[in-house]
A and B are shown apart, each in its own frame.
Chain A
Amino acid sequence: METEGLREFYRAHQPRLVGVISLLTGSRAEAEDLVQEAFVRLVPRWQKVSRYDSPEAWVRLVAVRLAANRHRDGNRLTHLFHRLPADHVADPADGYAGDLEQALAGLPMPTRQVVVLHYVCDLSVAQVADTLGIAEGTVKSRLSRARDTLSDSLLLRSDDHA
């Protein structure tokens, strides 16, 4: 019975979570791995987490932290993280979406976390600050820098497309 509940939860939230984490990692395959790991960690805790107001927030937080850890570990080995994965080739047909993905991947991971949680997961500034354990002012300043950077980057690329 518990397994069925967990299966339903997985079906309902796994795809969306992969979409969110993909924006952090820049790679859908890597995001699938991380989300899978987050759900594996959820299984033994399901009885407890299922009683939370928002179990999906728990899984999302685990996945976000896993992404940050993998990013940090990857950075220790290479300074190439800010580039998209080598096998990623932007589809010219993607147009603006591809540019946005690249511009997002160019942001530092802490800024990317704030952007994704605020704009994609619809968390308020206070909720983002609480989730990441940082001050609200830090969230605001990161959002501001992210908007400026993304705006500049997308405007430049728009000029290129034109």
Chain B
Amino acid sequence: MPDLQEDLQALADRKAAESAGDFDTVLTTARTRKRRLTAGLTVLGAAVVVAAVAVVPTLRPAHNAPVAGSPVPTNAVAPPELEQQPNPAPVQKAGPLTLTSAKALKAGGQVVASFPDKKVRNVTFTLSSAAKPDVPLYTLVAKVPGDATTPYSMKVNPGESGIAIPQYTSAGPYTLALPKGLAAGSYKVCTLSGALLCGLVTVG
């Protein structure tokens, strides 16, 4: 057997001698490929931007409420139940009576009244304008457990007496209902029994 290495090299040399190559074609192909790559990246970048613009309106708000007309289905998984914490924003303290509401107060809305002294009081409160705190406008009857008619409010008519109120006492907190026709403004809420406690609420 002849020397393998010499024969293989001779074979390779013979193939090399027959080979044809065109350097200009190499250059042209390389440059064309580079242009295509650049164009491809440009198109890809544009597609990413378009996709991002298309996706942004479908993002759901953080509070997980369904978006009207959203093409993305809302999350079918029920979120874990969370204890509703009162929004501290509407809380107003004017005097010892703490008045808390889960949302901005409006006429007909509800507010929770808490007694810092934890003393037992009746379910009745007075509502007066902050500008004229000495003139009661309404009597507020707080929510009584088991009584579906409560809470409610009664307009105070000067000279009228003998209104019927539920005989219920508690250390609170009490849920109060603001009158439906109450104009926007600041009002003072005070207890009607026990040591006087007052607080301010703003109705929007």
Contacts and interface: CB of A to CB of B under 8 A. Distances in A.
B8 A116 contact: yes
Interface residues of B, number: 28
A63 interface: no
Contacts of A40: 26, 29-30, 33
Given A18-B15, A18-B16, A100 B8 contact: yes
Interface string A90-108: 0000001100110010000
B12 A35 contact: no
Contacts of B10: 97
A43 B12 contact: no
Contact of A100 (B7, B23, B27): B7
Interface size of A as a range:
35 or more
A32 B12 contact: no
B12 A20 contact: yes
A150 B15 contact: no
Given A15-B17, A18-B15, A18-B16, A115 B8 contact: yes
B161 interface: no
A140 interface: no
A14 B12 contact: no
A133 interface: no
Contacts of A14: 19, 21, 23
Contacts of B21: 10, 14-15, 18, 32, 35-36
B55 interface: no
A150 B4 contact: yes
A10 B26 contact: yes
Contacts of B158: none
A138 interface: no
Interface of B: 1-2, 4-5, 7-21, 23, 25-27, 29-31, 33-34
Interface in A11-64: 11, 14-20, 22-23, 28, 31-32, 35-36, 39-41, 43-44
B26 A100 contact: no
A154 interface: yes
A70 interface: no
A124 interface: no
Contact of A28 (B19, B30, B34): B19
A10 B62 CA distance: 62
Contact of A19 (B2, B13, B25, B29): B13
Contact of A96 (B2, B25, B29, B34): B2
B4 A18 contact: no
Nearest to A7: B23
A155 B7 CA distance: 15
A3 B9 contact: no
Contacts of B26: 10, 36, 39-40, 43
9 contacts: A16-B13, A18-B15, A19-B14, A19-B17, A97-B11, A104-B8, A116-B12, A120-B5, A150-B4
Given A10-B26, A44-B30, A154-B1, A32 B8 contact: no
